Amino acid sequence: MTESSSNSTPSAATQGWSVQDKVSASLRSRKRKEKAFKNLGLASVLVSLALVAILFINIFSKGIPAFWQTSMELDIYFDPQIVNVPEKPVQQADESFYDFDNRLQEWETELGFVNFNALINNAIIPLLPDFERSQTRFLTQLITSGERHALRQMVMDDPSVIGQTKTLRLLTAANIDVWLKGNIDRDLPDEQQQLPALVRDWADQLYAEGAIQNRFSTALFMNPDSRSSLASAGLAGAFVGSFYMMLIVIFLAIPMGVAAAIYLEEFAPKNKITDVIEVNINNLAAVPSIIFGLLGAAVFINWFNLPMSAPVVGGLVLSLMTLPTVIIATRSTLRAIPPSIRSAALGLGASRTQTVFHHVLPLAIPGILTGSILGVAQALGETAPLLLIGMKSFVASVPQTPFDQSTALPVQIYLWQGNELRNFFEARTSAAIIVLLMLMLSLNALAIWLRRKLEVRW
Amino acid sequence: MNNLIVIAALLAVMTLAYQLGMAKSGKQASRLAREKNHQAMHSRPHHHGALVAFWATVPAFAIFLLWSWFAPWMVNQMVIAQLPDHLAQLSGNELNAVLRRISNIANDFVSGGVLADWEIAAAQYYREMQEIAYAIMLALVSAAVALGLFLSYRKVNPALRARNAMEKVIKAVLIISSTIAILTTIGIVLSMVGETLRFFTYVSPTDFFFGTTWNPRFSTVGTGQQGEFGLLPLLSGTLLVASVALLVAIPLGLLSAIYLAEYAPKRLRNVAKPIIEILAGIPTIVYGFFALVTVGPFLAGLGDSVGLDIRATSALTAGVVMGIMIIPFISSLSDDILTQVPKSLRDGSLGLGATKSETIRKVVLPAALPGISGAVLLAASRAVGETMIVVLAAGNSPNLTANPFEAVSTMTVTIVNQLTGDNDFSSPQSLVAFALGLTLFVITLILNIVALLIVRKFREQYD
């Protein structure tokens, strides 16, 4: 185009036809370029959408099978010959708690010596017709070790089960699950298999007979993490840890963020100091999350001596991280409320505080709620700062208080992806990711729903 | 447990004081109305109630907080003074262990084992001291409650400007909240500068900033071997991964934004935009897992089939996945900026006969360029500070290389590796994490400030 116009300057009248000619000659290539550009744009939108789809399909196809685990329904006879312990001590009227506790602990130690494997073995042997005594040591590879602790806990809670037969569903070991689901190459030679040939045959045989079934398992949700019994490793500890942290975020970051936003938007004079605060908050929102972890390690753990890997420290760090998000969301909501509301209230004699708290704030609640929920969702998925305050250690119990050692959902995902038994944990990690994504998705959906339901357009 | 009771009691007092204040001022108000007095109440009864409740509980609560911070230290000092000589001379950590054991015995947490005589005596003393401290606290708190309640209740009268007083309190709370953000920044800077200076007493700043080898050598054995703390390999790894990410994200994000803003039918835009923005909400650990388990092996296989040696965990893997993550940052910011370019510019170009794509490439994009470069800088600061993707997928080997197919390490990965969770902040091996953190903070801060300035300038230009 530029070319033709420069050419035409000397004598436009005589060469006019050639300009038009040139333009129409170039028109075809220009239209082709137009189309190409448009298609390029469409292609990149489609690629971006495809990436979202690949990510989700990938995670879900890997993770969903892990919600079902192979398990066995067994009639466990609590044989008094095997569970040979005295009666559970009861606190006597004249006995101090200290003495009673000693006796109780002695009893529990004695219970710890009981061979609960034998109970499980006795229940399995009738199901295996060509079983020989010499093969007993292989039997323990069928059922995951966490189940014998569960049996011991049953006796501990209620000693009257001794002598009874209970029908229980026990999880099989992680390796059996991997074998039966085909997550390991079945044609690998013996030395590369995780299980001896005999146990593999048993597993196949029991599965074919229907003794081992692939059932939906609640172990993933109900159990804490475990290293010895991989099949029953679960997210309970991480759930509670994350829950404590979110409580702290909700009760610290949201009120403080809203208060800060109200001050900056409604009360603060426009001067150098508030300018600094404003720039500072915008920058704080863009500071990498790992820096907040360093802050937590240096300030909360090193100076204030708060406990390592405790949800209370994690909650504080995440609160500081969420604060700018809440402030920014609240400020933009407050800014969107028309000044006429304020003028009306002030004109009728309300004070500044009354105007804000009686008239402006109620109208801003939907926006504040939406922003806060999104902030909490972001905090729920954050991993890096938690690693720096010591949350990468293995914790096999559910934290009782926010001051106990704990993990969090994203940290549990980080820990599981590093487990050596990749065949089992790749699926289980994906399942944990699905749980995390579902939680975040429902928080986001809640935010969108609230916005739709409560939003006021001015 | 006992502290919870105190807090509950304070809450109860608060309700009671509120009711008292309200009742008194309410009575005064009705008396004034009955007497047809010209003087009216300045404030409503609930303002009076709130003020009385404030004075009755907040000072008491402050005392309670101070005391619960101060008393344990006090008790410990007194128990230490009481200990047998050989124990009182122990150093910090051992003494703490002894104190912890004594407090456990005193609180009946220890069962079994034989207790030494001095332990029982110390535990006894500890418990007595604890009880005394608790009693003093109760006395102080009750005195504060009584005094606050009495004085403020007496002051309730028609002329008292209770509402203004309460509003001052509210404003103070608001101001305190907004300074928390400032305090956070100050805390970040101070804590990191302090630890970084301590790090520089072990390693000279030139060795840190210009060293080309990263080999910190964990100091489990005190051989005096220092290890080398050269920043450059980590910085190059960080920049390499971030550049790969931007190479993926800029074309995809920008072209998507252009298509969605200029061409797409409204329905497609309404569907595609939120779906792409989902990418920004996915936790980074999920991307890391995706990179490690799916993208890495895929890229390695792709490399094999064309004869390239691509490691499964490499700068490329981490960069590509990080690029996916920052697509929405670039696309939604660019989208905002493109829609802000005035319509007159477009109309002018179209009116002269330019096609739509020519208008976009030659008129709209140059006009939007400052804003878009701001968006790119913001995305770059995201990429530099991103942690979990690179921890899982960049391979964690600090090489000074420009080859994206090799494994690298970044500053964020190294921070995670060096702060392993033991809170022993005395060796250069863990202090270096703070030096790295400070460097990272400064880099991202500069990127952010420049980006914000550019974007702001752009907005003013077309406002």
pLDDT in tens, A25-52: 888 889 999 999 999 999 999 999 999 9
Using alpha carbons, select from A104, A56, A277 the residue that is nearest to residue B281: A56
Q: What's the mean pLDDT when you consider all of chain B?
A: 86
Using alpha carbons, select from A348, A289, A333, A339 the residue that is nearest to residue A314: A289
Contact B276/B288 with Cβ under 8 angstroms?
no
> Which of A48, A259, A413 is nearest residue B256 as measured by Cβ atoms?
A48
Q: In this predicted model, what pLDDT tens digit does every residue of B343-395 receive, in sequence order?
A: 999 999 999 989 999 999 999 999 998 889 988 999 999 999 999 999 999 88
Which of the residues B278, B282, B313 would you substitute to probe the A interface, choosing the one with the greatest number of A C-beta atoms within 10 Å?
A: B282
Q: Is A264 helix (H, G, I), strand (E, B) or coil?
A: helix
User: Would you call B324 and A55 a contact, using CB atoms and an 8 Å cutoff?
Assistant: yes
Residues B86-96: b if buried by 16+ CB within 10 A, e if exposed: ebeeeeeeebe
Which chain A residues are closer than 8 Å to B180 by Cβ? 256, 260, 323
pLDDT of residue A14: 54
Whether residue B113 is predicted with pLDDT greater than 70 in this model: the reply is no
Range with lowest mean pLDDT among B2-11, B241-250, B277-286: B2-11
Query: Bridge partners of A215?
Result: A69
ipTM of the complex: 0.88
Using alpha carbons, select from A99, A11, A65 the residue that is nearest to residue A434: A65
CA atoms within 13 A on the CB side of B430: 17
pLDDT interval class at B74 (50, 70, 90): confident
Q: Are strands A212-216 and A165-171 parallel, antiparallel or unpaired?
A: unpaired
Count other Cβ atoms within 10 Å, centred on residue B78: 15
Helix, strand and coil content of chain A, in percent to the nearest 5, comes to: 70, 5, 25
Token digits for B65? 């907080």
Contact A177/A219 with Cβ under 8 angstroms?
no
CA atoms within 13 A on the CB side of B235: 17
Q: What percent of chain B has pLDDT over 70?
A: 92
Token digits for B196? 């970084």
> Which of B164, B191, B282 is nearest residue A298 as measured by Cβ atoms?
B191
Contact B17/B149 with Cβ under 8 angstroms?
yes
Whether residue B104 is predicted with pLDDT greater than 80 in this model: the reply is no
Chain A, nearest residue to B435 by Cα: A294
Which of the residues A1, A34, A40, A48 would you substitute to probe the B interface, choosing the one with the greatest number of B C-beta atoms within 10 Å?
A: A48
Using alpha carbons, select from B375, B291, B318, B279 the residue that is nearest to residue A49: B279
A290 touches chain B (CB under 8 A): yes
pTM, whole model, 2 decimals?
0.87
Is the sign of the CA dihedral A335, A339, A341, A347 positive or negative? positive
Q: In this predicted model, what pLDDT tens digit does every residue of A339-364 receive, in sequence order?
A: 999 999 999 999 999 999 999 999 99
- d(CA B109, nearest CA chain A) in Å: 9
Distance CA A307, CA A296 (A): 11
Q: What percent of chain B has pLDDT over 90?
A: 42
Range with lowest mean pLDDT among B3-12, B26-35, B111-120: B111-120
Whether residue B224 is predicted with pLDDT greater than 70 in this model: the reply is no
DSSP B295: I
pLDDT interval class at B226 (50, 70, 90): low
Which of the residues A294, A332, A368 would you substitute to probe the B interface, choosing the one with the greatest number of B C-beta atoms within 10 Å?
A: A294
**Can you list the residues of chain A whose pLDDT is less than 70?**
1-16, 457-458
pLDDT of residue B423: 52
> Which of A1, A378, A413 is nearest residue B285 as measured by Cβ atoms?
A413
Query: Bridge partners of B215?
Result: B228
Angle made by CA atoms B283, B287, B289, in degrees to the nearest 5 = 110
Rounded alpha-carbon distances, angstroms, from residue A359 to A103, A330, A334: 65, 15, 11
pLDDT of residue A4: 46
| Polymer length in residues for chain B | 463
- d(CA A304, nearest CA chain B) in Å: 11
Is the sign of the CA dihedral B234, B240, B246, B249 positive or negative? negative
A101 touches chain B (CB under 8 A): yes
Angle made by CA atoms A75, A78, A83, in degrees to the nearest 5 = 150
By CB atoms closer than 10 A (0-12, 13-18, 19+), residue A133 is exposed
Is the sign of the CA dihedral B356, B359, B361, B364 positive or negative? negative
Q: Is B222 helix (H, G, I), strand (E, B) or coil?
A: coil
Which chain A residues are closer than 8 Å to B355 by Cβ? 30-31, 33-34
Is the sign of the CA dihedral B438, B442, B448, B453 positive or negative? positive
Q: In this predicted model, what pLDDT tens digit does every residue of B347-359 receive, in sequence order?
A: 999 999 899 999 9
User: Would you call A280 and B191 a contact, using CB atoms and an 8 Å cutoff?
Assistant: no
Which chain B residues are closer than 8 Å to A440 by Cβ? 281, 283
Which of the residues B170, B285, B456 would you substitute to probe the A interface, choosing the one with the greatest number of A C-beta atoms within 10 Å?
A: B285
Q: In this predicted model, what pLDDT tens digit does every residue of B320-331 receive, in sequence order?
A: 999 999 999 999
Chain A, nearest residue to B358 by Cα: A34
Residue scoring higher pLDDT (B216 or B336): B336
Which chain A residues are closer than 8 Å to B448 by Cβ? 282-283, 286
User: Would you call B181 and A280 a contact, using CB atoms and an 8 Å cutoff?
Assistant: yes
Contact B261/B346 with Cβ under 8 angstroms?
no
Residue scoring higher pLDDT (B258 or B429): B258
User: Would you call A52 and B448 a contact, using CB atoms and an 8 Å cutoff?
Assistant: no
What is the count of residue pairs from A and B with beta carbons less than 8 Å apart? 270
Distance CA B3, CA A385 (A): 31
pLDDT interval class at B218 (50, 70, 90): low
User: Would you call B360 and A37 a contact, using CB atoms and an 8 Å cutoff?
Assistant: yes
List, in order of start, the domains of chain B with CATH numbers. Answer: 2-160 (no CATH), 228-462 (1.10.3720.10)
Whether residue B119 is predicted with pLDDT greater than 60 in this model: the reply is yes
Chain A, nearest residue to B378 by Cα: A286
Residue scoring higher pLDDT (B211 or A339): A339
User: Would you call A295 and B184 a contact, using CB atoms and an 8 Å cutoff?
Assistant: yes
User: Would you call B387 and A301 a contact, using CB atoms and an 8 Å cutoff?
Assistant: no
